[in-house]
Amino acid sequence: MSKVAIIGAGAMGLAAAYQAVSDGHEVDVFEAASETGGMAGHFDFGGVSIERFYHFVCKTDYATFELLDDLGIKEKLRWVPTTMGLFLNGRLNSWGNPISLLKLRDIGPLTKIRYGLFAFICVRRNSWPALEHESAKDWIIRWCGQENYDLFWRPLFAYKFFEYAENISAAWIWTRIRRIGRSRKSIMQEELGYIDGGSKTLIDALVKAIEASGGRIHLNSGVKKVEVSDGRVVAIHTQTGTAAADYVISTSPTPYVSRMIPDLPREWKERYDSIHNIGVICVILKLKKSVTPHFWVNISEPDLEIPGLIEFSNLRHVGPHAIVYVPYYMPVTNEKFTWSDQELFKEAFACLQRINPTLQSSDVVDVKVARLRHGQPICEPGFAAKIPAIQTPIAGLQIADTCFYYPEDRGISESVRLGREMAENLRGEKSKTK
């Protein structure tokens, strides 16, 4: 039985731990926070358990389906018909299907045709290797034209990526379009899923299964250093002590890797350090009334510095109130990242009032602001070549975080898939050492 240390108790780390204990390893998971879940973690929102950062399930999230089945909770998955909106030119429009596109006012027919053809091809294609070295901006303009880009894409990119907006990988954007486009009941009807009780249901089931098989989860135990001897991992040092390890799987964000593993070769440290991340802030509002009938609304107004909103209660029933997420993605160097919770709420609520002028301050029941410094990697053209191999030059050490899904969209399903794959890799590593 090998000793396996897993760094991070988010979905990826817990999935790795579950697979490793299932394969007969002695497993310890070390988490810096006081709870499991990572970006899938929950908080109590006035009696409602809700994610700090919203999650949903798509019909192509096969790794999630398999894990739910393995854990015996596949009946917890629910599917709901959902819709999309577009706030453009001061109006809330239906969006996301051919009829909505045709009904959109003040947009020429050629622009609509090019947009519709573009979306259709994105959803139908299974691979598009030519996009790996092209920017999303150039790709969209080439297919759809400048007007399409300026109307539907430029504001979204500007307020999600800021200074990186014009240098985002087309391959990365394409896979996001494809994932959502394939989660449909029909060409006219989007259908998304959620887990009854939220992501916490899956996280709690993983923790229970890991501990039932002898695995241990150590909270408030951030890893300070991975110890290496003769080119192989031998131990990890945490805030609370030292633990011997034959194998280490790190799921920490790449910005922490160089400092945490000083024995990595210099060129490997440089590769991890060259991966840029942006932060994420979610202003989460509990309201007495709904803002829109849609699950999500893209905002394409130059004077509204928010790319969209998620009305989560239009997917998962969470009681008598509407739950709305207003997400901010930005580099942590951006001044707005240091704004107070009240400043963020004031701007977010003003945006909601623009979309639904009937909203009043008296409709606000509660507000929560969730922040994360490393929320999303910046994937520029050619990003695939930038990602280091998961197996490092140090024997017994594997490293991955959300950027290793590229070009796939980050999410719980990809976390689960990659976490389990890293644990399965130990089977081959173990046979090599015999």
Q: Are residues 11 and 35 in the same domain?
A: yes
Reading the block at residue 264, the tokens are 């990595």
Residue 76: inside a domain: no
Taking alpha carbons only, the member of 37, 73, 70 closest to residue 412 is 37
Are 175 and 108 part of one and the same domain?
Answer: yes
Residue 240 forms part of a structural domain: yes
Residues forming a β-bridge with 366: 286
- 332 in a structural domain: no
pLDDT, position 430? 56
Q: Is residue 84 part of a domain?
A: no
Q: Which of 140, 158, 184 is the last residue of a domain?
A: 184
Same domain, 148 and 216: no
Q: Are residues 268 and 245 in the same domain?
A: yes
* pLDDT at residue number 432: 56
Q: How far apart are CA 274 and CA 220, in angstroms?
A: 28
What is the full DSSP assignment across 354-399? Answer: HH-TT--GGGEEEEEEEEEEEEEE---TTGGGGSPPSB-SSBTEEE
Estimate the crossing angle of helix 62-70 against helix 199-212, to 10 degrees.
50
Note whether residue 89 is domain-resident. Answer: no
- Confidence at residue 7, expressed as pLDDT on a 0 to 100 scale: 98
Same domain, 255 and 132: no
> For residue 213, is it within any domain?
yes
Task: Name residue, tokens 């107070």.
Answer: 340
Q: Residue 126 and residue 118: Cα distance in Å, rounded?
A: 14
Say yes or no: 254 and 401 in one domain.
Answer: yes
Q: Which residue has the tokens 């039985």?
A: 1
- pLDDT of 45 reads 94
Single-letter code of the amino acid located at 387: I
Q: What is the DSSP secondary-structure string of 213-267?
A: TT-EEESS--EEEEEEETTEEEEEEESS-EEE-SEEEE-S-GGGHHHH-TTS-HH
Same domain, 128 and 264: no
pLDDT in tens, the chain (434 residues): 799 999 999 999 999 999 999 999 999 999 999 999 999 999 999 999 999 999 999 999 999 999 999 999 999 999 999 999 999 999 999 999 999 999 999 899 999 999 999 999 999 999 999 999 999 999 999 999 999 999 999 999 999 899 999 999 999 999 999 999 999 999 899 999 999 999 999 999 999 999 999 999 999 999 999 999 999 999 999 999 999 999 999 999 999 999 999 999 999 999 999 999 999 999 999 999 999 999 999 999 888 989 999 999 999 999 899 999 999 999 999 999 999 999 999 999 999 999 999 999 999 999 999 999 998 899 999 999 999 999 999 999 999 999 999 999 889 999 999 999 999 999 876 545 44
Q: What is the CATH number for 14?
A: 3.50.50.60
Residue 172, exposed/middle/buried by CB under 10 A (0-12, 13-18, 19+)? Answer: buried
Task: Count up the domains in the chain and report the number.
Answer: 2
- In this prediction the pTM is 0.95
Q: Do both 121 and 266 map to the same domain?
A: no
Same domain, 145 and 8: no
Pick the last residue of a domain from 149, 184, 219: 184
Judgement on whether residues 160 and 234 belong to the same structural domain of the protein: no
CA 388 to chain centre: 20
Structural domain of 270: 3-40+198-274+380-433
User: What was the pLDDT predicted at 434?
Assistant: 45
The reply to whether 78 falls in a domain is: no
Q: How far apart are CA 77 and CA 189, in angstroms?
A: 19
* Statement to judge: residues 219 and 263 lie in one domain: yes
Residue 322, both tokens? 């509407």
Question: Does residue 130 belong to any structural domain of this protein?
Answer: yes
Give 387's contacts (C-beta < 8 A, 6+ positions apart): 271, 275, 403, 404, 406
